[in-house]
Chains A and B, each alone.
Chain A
């Protein structure tokens, strides 16, 4: 057994979909090349961009930072990072510390924003309230608002997130199964909003399977926070993910074909199905909102904050 590319007998990975065998160096190179190919193909970066990485300290965001840093080193872009501290005891602090160490290692501007400081409440405290809407609902909305604000404050022209192939395919299937055509129009490598306050979002890892990103950080000996969020529960996403992974065992190319199929119809979907929002402003915080209050502020009101 030897590396299909260089002949090295120390193979660390077998690509089920192609049978390709890779040694450590060729595997690392293949991941970086794949992300760079997505960046070029989807025109995710422009020279002079200041990219804000949403950096949790987990494998996906650390890999995103590592790959984008190669563009920073070549003076193509500038890089900064934001870490959101949701206030989850015995979980989040490790990720915050790891994110901080990566930002220091690379010498990039880094900001840690906590829910407690911004909204006066932690996710743990929200979860102690009666009739809460579930942890992921608050976490997703507050995190998105915080990251958007940070992008404006730090002068970022793009926000990079660590969404991988598995995340994207789950998103496509979930929205399709739920008949959520509006959300289906919002997926893709690059998300632009008509509201200028919303910075363009990019996903450089969207064609890389989650497992390969996990192996990449171990192979590169990058420090990451490998842990499970204590609020992770049997969500619909989890169920969809399980079905897709089961199908992938016999059909190893299925995640790629789902993504390719979506990409082929994406533009038609956007043209036909995208809702035209009245770009108003939230009466409470001034963020873009189609309703009187933005989602984050309506949650705050409900929580009596």
Chain B
């Protein structure tokens, strides 16, 4: 069970660690604030409560930068 993560220059395959693993869990793991990024699941915008499924492509777009 894995998904592809795209974030900035990152493009990697990641294991889904547990059932009901959400984008919010992924952001916490990556130490990213949900306030500064928006998330896409297979090319479509989704909210952070979305559960990541096997084979998903998850893209994170940083929309807020400091300064």
Contact = CB atoms under 8 A, between A and B. Distances in A.
Contacts of A12: 44-47
B63 A232 contact: no
A10 interface: yes
A14 B67 CA distance: 26
A245 B67 CA distance: 15
Interface string A219-260: 100000011110111010010000001000000000000000
B9 interface: no
Interface string B7-44: 00000000000000000000000000101101000001
Given A211-B35, A226-B61, A245-B35, A232 B66 contact: yes
B4 interface: no
B64 A215 contact: no
Q: State the majority secondary structure of interface residues on B.
A: loop
Contact of A214 (B44, B47, B63): B63
A69 B64 CA distance: 24
B62 A226 contact: yes
A13 interface: yes
Nearest to A238: B66
Nearest to B36: A211
Contacts of A217: 63
A228 B36 CA distance: 12
A211 B45 contact: no
A163 interface: no
Contacts of B61: 218, 226
A227 B66 CA distance: 9
Contacts of A13: 47
A10 B64 CA distance: 24
Contact of B38 (A10, A214, A245): A214
Interface residues of B, number: 16
Nearest to A24: B45
The SS class assigned to the A binding surface is: mixed
B48 to A, nearest CB: 8
Contacts of A226: 61-63, 65
A36 interface: no
Contact of B67 (A24, A219, A228): A228
Interface in B46-67: 46-47, 49, 61-67
A102 to B, nearest CB: 18
Nearest to B46: A12
Interface string A3-37: 00000001111100000010010000000000000
Contacts of A227: 65
A215 B45 CA distance: 9
A59 interface: yes
B6 to A, nearest CB: 14
B30 to A, nearest CB: 17
A228 B45 contact: no
A214 B33 CA distance: 14
A94 interface: no
B44 A10 contact: yes
Interface string A190-211: 0000000000000000000011
Across the A-B interface, give the 3 residue pairs with the lowest CB-CB distance, nearest first: A232-B67, A214-B63, A228-B65
